């Protein structure tokens, strides 16, 4: 089958871009996949994209930034959405034209505003799947109101955690819309995992206030006071860089804390460490936590909403500590720093437990979701007396690679492999 992703700007840097590329590349093993980028501001993406995945932009800001329609405010993209200022009548027009001409079987939106476009503009024969990479509680009441109306037109909605999926079911009241958690995937590592011997703690992500790298540095000061031979490496770039550098100097940690800048991919940097760390106040998922664990690092993280507690088993493959608690964060790091055997054992457990975020299991979840959402929609049409549609999307090149036929939850539909028509 053919799957299209609709993304804000595939040429930038960010967690949604990373996770979209990862899922698209994993799906491309068995399906025809494209990424449609609403905006483009440079020649090539920052991240390498599998050549099996096609990429096409709709608005090229290098030539169209001053386009008359781009100077007028958007009408479809919701005003309460964070990115509203970057959308316009031109993006409304291009997205609408793209969706109207779409020959895909499944189209996946990757942020609230784009999910609204899917809800109102995607053709009915296409399965409309909205992705939420943030959390419901992170959205303003005004945006939630707009989404509640639009999301009822979707076929399925995915969140990255079970906790957020439960919140959408409980608070949004979306009859007929399948709401499920679909975690982000991380590609299989190509390097040998960490052996746990390096005296290095590694953290990565945007240098922004919510990530609380200031708290991590302050906690690491207590680690360095007891173990001055240990180092903290922080990878990423952002508005907090200068403040974090000043804090490092203020605490006298020039030889212990290093702001390494951005690195992509991060795998080669994770395996140089022995412990991963995350100190966020809020983490919808925790992509860097999974990345670290897939490289054999136990991770010490704040127990912030919602992701870390669904990824880390406290005391088994890492540690969870209260949000905004410097001393608890330092104590958890010291526990692993002091005990070589504990560090290695939890690292091995992290490597094993994080396999559930490998591309294979996540793709199987996605395929199952698509099949069951199509089956539910077909059942609804039959109940309403509509003529059954062609189920070409349920055939394809591998809804369940291990089965020749796939029985969905209703038991009413078999997925027969006859190839995409």
Average pLDDT of the residues of the chain = 90
pLDDT band per the 50, 70, 90 thresholds, residue 47: confident
Proportion of the chain above pLDDT 70, given as a percent? 90
Question: Pairing mode, if any, of strands 405-407 and 414-416?
Answer: antiparallel
pLDDT at 384: 55
Q: Identify the helix (H) or strand (E) that includes residue 26.
A: helix 15-27
Q: Which band of pLDDT confidence, cut at 50, 70 and 90, is reported for residue 377? A: confident
Q: H or E stretch including 127?
A: strand 127-132
Kindly state whether residues 137 and 214 are assigned to the same domain: no
> Residue 12 class from Cβ within 10 Å (0-12 exposed, 13-18 middle, 19+ buried)?
middle
CA distance 279 to 1: 41
pLDDT digits (tens, 9 = 90+) for 75-110: 999 999 999 999 999 999 999 999 999 999 999 999
What pLDDT is attached to residue 405?
30
pLDDT at 416: 27
Q: Based on the fold, state whether residues 67 and 212 are members of the same structural domain.
A: no
Domain of residue 234, CATH code:
3.40.50.2000
Reported as half-sphere exposure (CB side, CA atoms, 13 A), residue 363 has a value of 23
Structure tokens at 212: 């609380």
Angle made by CA atoms 220, 226, 228, in degrees to the nearest 5: 75
Q: Give the residue numbers spanning the domain of 208.
A: 200-356
Q: What is the pLDDT of residues 185-210, one digit of tens each?
A: 988 999 999 999 999 999 999 999 99
Q: Judge if 145 and 216 occupy the same domain.
A: no
Same domain? For 275 and 158 the reply is no
Which tokens hold the place of 360?
Answer: 């294979």
CB 128 within 8 A of CB 102: no
Q: Is the pLDDT of residue 27 over 50?
A: yes
Mark residue 411 as left, alpha or beta (left: phi above 0; alpha: psi -120 to 50; beta: remaining). left
| Per-residue pLDDT tens digits for 134-170 | 899 999 999 999 999 999 999 999 999 999 999 999 9
d(CA 85, CA 278): 31
Last residue of a domain, one of 331, 356, 381: 356
Pairing label, strands 200-204, 127-132: unpaired
Task: Kindly state whether residue 268 falls inside one of the protein's structural domains.
Answer: yes
**Domains held by the chain: number:** 2
Which residues are CB-contacts of 246 (< 8 A; sequence separation ≥ 6)? Answer: none
């Amino acid at each position: 089958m053919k799957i299209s992703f609709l993304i804000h700007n595939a040429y930038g840097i960010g967690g949604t871009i990373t996770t979209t590329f990862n899922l698209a590349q994993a799906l491309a093993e068995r399906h025809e996949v494209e990424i449609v980028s609403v905006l483009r501001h440079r020649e090539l993406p920052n991240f390498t994209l599998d050549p099996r995945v096609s990429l096409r932009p709709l608005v090229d800001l290098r030539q169209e930034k001053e386009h008359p329609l781009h100077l007028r405010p958007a009408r479809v993209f919701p005003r309460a959405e964070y990115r509203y200022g970057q959308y316009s009548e031109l993006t409304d027009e291009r997205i609408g034209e793209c969706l109207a001409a779409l020959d895909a079987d499944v189209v996946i939106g990757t942020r609230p505003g784009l999910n609204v476009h899917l809800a109102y503009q995607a053709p009915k024969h296409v399965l409309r799947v909205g992705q939420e990479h943030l959390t419901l509680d992170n959205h303003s009441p005004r945006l939630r109101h707009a989404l509640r109306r639009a999301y009822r037109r979707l076929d399925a909605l995915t969140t990255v955690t079970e906790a957020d999926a439960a919140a959408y079911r409980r608070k949004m009241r979306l009859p007929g819309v399948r709401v499920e958690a679909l975690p982000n995937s991380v590609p299989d590592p190509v390097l040998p995992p960490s052996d746990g011997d390096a005296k290095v703690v590694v953290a990565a992500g945007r240098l922004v206030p919510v990530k609380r790298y200031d708290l991590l540095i302050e906690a690491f000061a207590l680690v360095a006071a007891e173990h001055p031979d240990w180092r903290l490496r922080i990878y990423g770039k952002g508005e907090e860089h200068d403040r974090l550098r000043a804090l490092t100097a203020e605490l006298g940690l020039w030889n212990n804390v290093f702001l390494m800048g951005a690195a992509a991919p991060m795998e080669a940097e994770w395996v140089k460490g022995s412990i991963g760390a995350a100190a966020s106040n809020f983490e919808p998922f925790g992509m860097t936590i999974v990345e670290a664990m897939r490289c054999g690092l136990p991770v010490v993280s704040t127990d912030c909403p919602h992701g870390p507690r669904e990824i880390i088993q406290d005391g088994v493959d890492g540690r969870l500590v209260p949000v905004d608690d410097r001393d608890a964060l330092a104590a958890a790091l010291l526990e692993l720093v002091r005990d070589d055997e504990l560090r290695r054992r939890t690292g091995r457990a992290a490597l094993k437990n994080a396999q559930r975020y490998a591309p294979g299991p996540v793709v199987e979840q996605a395929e199952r979701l698509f099949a069951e959402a199509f089956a539910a929609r077909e059942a609804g049409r039959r109940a309403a007396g509509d003529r059954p549609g062609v189920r070409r999307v349920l055939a394809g090149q591998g809804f369940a690679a291990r089965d020749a036929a796939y029985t969905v939850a209703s038991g009413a539909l078999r997925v027969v492999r006859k190839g995409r028509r």
